[in-house]
Amino acid sequence: MDEFSFIKSIKPGFYRQSSLIKGINDDAAVIRPTGEDIVTAVDTMVEGVHFSKETMQPYHVGHRVLAANISDLAAMGSTPAFFMVSLTIPSSWNQEELEELYEGMKQLAHLYKMDLIGGDTVSGSELSVTVTVIGTVPKGKARYRSAAKPDDVLFVTGTLGDARAGLEWLLNGEPKVDEDVAYLVKRHRTPSPRVEFAQSLVSLSRLTLNDVSDGIANEANEIAEASDVDLLIDAGKLPFSKAVFRKHPERFEEWMFSGGEDFELLGTVSEEDWPLVEKAARNIGLPVTRIGEVAIKREVSPKVWIRRDEHMEVLGPSGYTHLKEKGE
Ligand SMILES: Nc1ncnc2c1ncn2[C@@H]1O[C@H](COP(=O)(O)OP(=O)(O)O)[C@@H](O)[C@H]1O
Ligand SMILES: Cc1ncc(C[n+]2csc(CCOP(=O)(O)OP(=O)(O)O)c2C)c(N)n1
Ligand SMILES: [Mg+2]
Ligand SMILES: [Mg+2]
Ligand SMILES: [Mg+2]
């Protein structure tokens, strides 16, 4: 199948968003804004970096790459609307696998009423999928990393470290699959972006959000730096699943900080608004945990501190980093 018949095969039969004027089949797509602010983000998944044929089937790659992008929209408080897909295809991937990859995206697109409105297709040496997402947010309601203020409550949704534990089993696990393994692998392969949670907080006047892609050690430092404040995290309060505790009692704490790919939301909110955050989470059946607080900077540069009993230590940005220097 050549490039043009491939594009024909993935072109959606209908569009869901009324603001779309032109979708696939011209030089570019056209959207007519409805008065809300437009939010956009892009993330890439590359074979050998974000997945391998051992860790994911094509369906999971499709799901994971769109979920990672939707997660960035969620972290801005935005409602997803459109996505575009740029594919580099190696000769080792066949037509059926590519269709499965699109099927993984389709399921999520359906859930969030998103339209596929364009993309690009080239051949290359390994599979790379780049997804661009476009969403909307009511004017002035985008949720920035720079919004944290001293005395805010620091919170996180869901549980941490599960995706890393799922990856561990996929790479080094024993063949036996029990309920815990199935749960952890699912968390790695088909993460759920926390869109509804962020949307349900739209009435709050001030809220900080950042999604957990690299690990909270990185994301907490991003909030501290952007807001020029310190964050204090109570190590004993970090939320973890029974599955990760049972399978990796020695390693799960490290993975909660730097495992990454959980796609939960880390955020801060005023003490006064914290009960509204708890209520919003309860309404959609998503756990949210108060894990610490925001404080005035102790030193010149903003820092994240981990509190264990009465002992405090600095938490550096130890999550996943691309382009590491040699020897690191
Ligand atoms: N190659 C690039 N060119 C331009 N902007 C980039 C590039 N890589 C990352 N960015 C921008 O840098 C910021 C941080 O990126 P990243 O850490 O990947 O965010 P996230 O972890 O939320 O996906 C974002 O605003 C992103 O758009
Ligand atoms: C085979 C394989 N090895 C290692 C990992 C771990 N890993 C790869 S990328 C990544 C971090 C998240 O990806 P990134 O591109 O940094 O996302 P962003 O922060 O831009 O959203 C992690 C933990 C993996 N998922 N699969
Ligand atoms: Mg990114
Ligand atoms: Mg992000
Ligand atoms: Mg991201």
Report the interhelical angle of 162-172 vs 179-189 (nearest 10°). 110
Q: What is the pLDDT of residue 61?
A: 98
Q: Which fold has domain 145-314?
A: Phosphoribosyl-aminoimidazole Synthetase; Chain A, domain 2 (3.90.650)
Going by CA atoms, what residue is nearest to atom 24 of ligand 1?
41
Ligand 1 contact via 213 beta carbon (within 6 Å): yes
Cβ atoms < 10 Å from Cβ of 258: 21
Q: State the distance from the centre of ligand 2 to the C-alpha of 50, rounded, in angstroms.
A: 5
The type of residue at 74 is A
Ligand 2 contact via 51 beta carbon (within 6 Å): yes
Ligand 2 contact via 320 beta carbon (within 6 Å): yes
Q: State the distance from the centre of ligand 1 to the C-alpha of 306, rounded, in angstroms.
A: 26
DSSP states of 168-218? HHHHH--S---HHHHHHHHHHHS----HHHHHTTTT-S--EEEE-SS-HHH
Ligand 2 contact via 267 beta carbon (within 6 Å): no
Best residue among 213, 218, 219, 265 to mutate for probing ligand 1's pocket (most ligand atoms within 8 Å of CB) is 213
Rounded average pLDDT per 10-residue block, the chain, 328 residues: 85 96 96 96 97 96 98 98 97 94 97 98 96 98 98 99 98 95 98 98 98 98 98 98 98 97 98 98 98 98 95 92 70
Going by CA atoms, what residue is nearest to atom 7 of ligand 2?
50
Ligand 2 contact via 211 beta carbon (within 6 Å): no
Q: Where are the domains of the chain?
A: 14-137, 145-314
Please check whether residue 86 is in contact with residue 129, taking contact to mean a CB–CB distance below 8 angstroms: yes
Ligand 2 contact via 68 beta carbon (within 6 Å): yes
Q: State the distance from the centre of ligand 4 to the C-alpha of 214, rounded, in angstroms.
A: 8
Q: What is the pLDDT of residue 66?
A: 98
Q: What is the pLDDT of residue 327?
A: 56
Binding-site residues from annotation for substrate:
50, 261, 320
Q: What is the pLDDT of residue 236?
A: 96
User: Which atom from ligand 2 is nearest to the alpha carbon of 321?
Assistant: 16
- Is domain 14-137 annotated with CATH 3.30.1330.10? yes
Determine the Cα angle at 21 with ends 17 and 27, to 5°: 120
> Is this structure's pTM higher than 0.90?
yes
